[in-house]
Amino acid sequence: MSNTIRVVLADDHVFVRDGIKSLLENEANIEVVGEATDGLEALKIVESCKPDLLILDIRMPNMTGIEVVEKLRSQNNLVKIVMLSMHESEEYVLKSIKAGADGYLLKGSSKEEFLKALQTIANGGKYFSGDISSILIGQLNNSTSIQESKPMQDEDQLITKREREILKLLLSGKGNKEIAEALDISKRTAEVHRFNLMKKLKVKNLMELSNKANEYSLI
């Protein structure tokens, strides 16, 4: 079975597509198998080429990138999708994730980050560049829960072993960079674990996190 990542590019600017192709041409395990200039064409090419990964601009003619993601997911198409945009707005980020995108990259990302993101997403992970993780955490922190309280699960089922390690480090005053160094993981992975932990515990800041951890004897 081939390990080559088959990619479709969807962007209405030819110089952007040419730039991405130029960047990828020396990557032995990545092959560009199709290109689209608008959202409708992207849907057709994904259907015909059946790529592993779709690199998708947000603002395109006929159908936006977000609408393309929504359409593909409504069809139960599981192609991995990374949004590539010059926009770092909270609205675009959250709409993309809600629609079902697997990652969000800024067009100003470095070659190294771009390639790392493609590999991560192609292998089933998620990747958000720049301050995107901060936007996600900020959205969580600023939201007010309107759900009815549910009984807390057993602590061993509630958070993972890794999340418990993250929790201890957070409550000892460590930041994302220090947590990453302590656990020998990337800063991005530390940010994701932190986000997931706060989401699971339904807390908005470190004070609430500490109170919840003590209440349910998580540390």
Cα 107 to Cα 151: distance, rounded to the nearest angstrom? 43
Q: 175-194 burial by CB neighbour count: b if 16+ within 10 A, else e?
A: ebeebbeebebeebbbbbbb
At 139, is the pLDDT very low, low, confident or very high (cuts 50, 70, 90)?
A: low
Q: Which fold has domain 138-215?
A: Arc Repressor Mutant, subunit A (1.10.10)
Taking the whole predicted model, whether its pTM rises above 0.85 is answered as no
pLDDT at 147: 36
Q: Give domain limits for the chain.
A: 5-130, 138-215
Q: What is the pLDDT of residues 173-217, one digit of tens each?
A: 888 888 988 988 888 888 888 888 888 888 887 888 888 887 777
**pLDDT value at position 215?**
76
| pLDDT tens string 85-134 | 887 777 788 888 889 999 898 888 888 889 999 999 998 888 887 656 55
Q: Considering only the top CATH level, what class is 5-130?
A: alpha beta
Q: Please, what sign has the CA dihedral across residues 33, 35, 39, 40? A: negative
Read off φ and ψ for residue 6, nearest 5 degrees: -90, 120
Strands 127-128 and 53-57: unpaired
With contact defined as beta carbons under 8 Å apart, do 54 and 10 qualify? yes
Fold match between 5-130 and 138-215? no
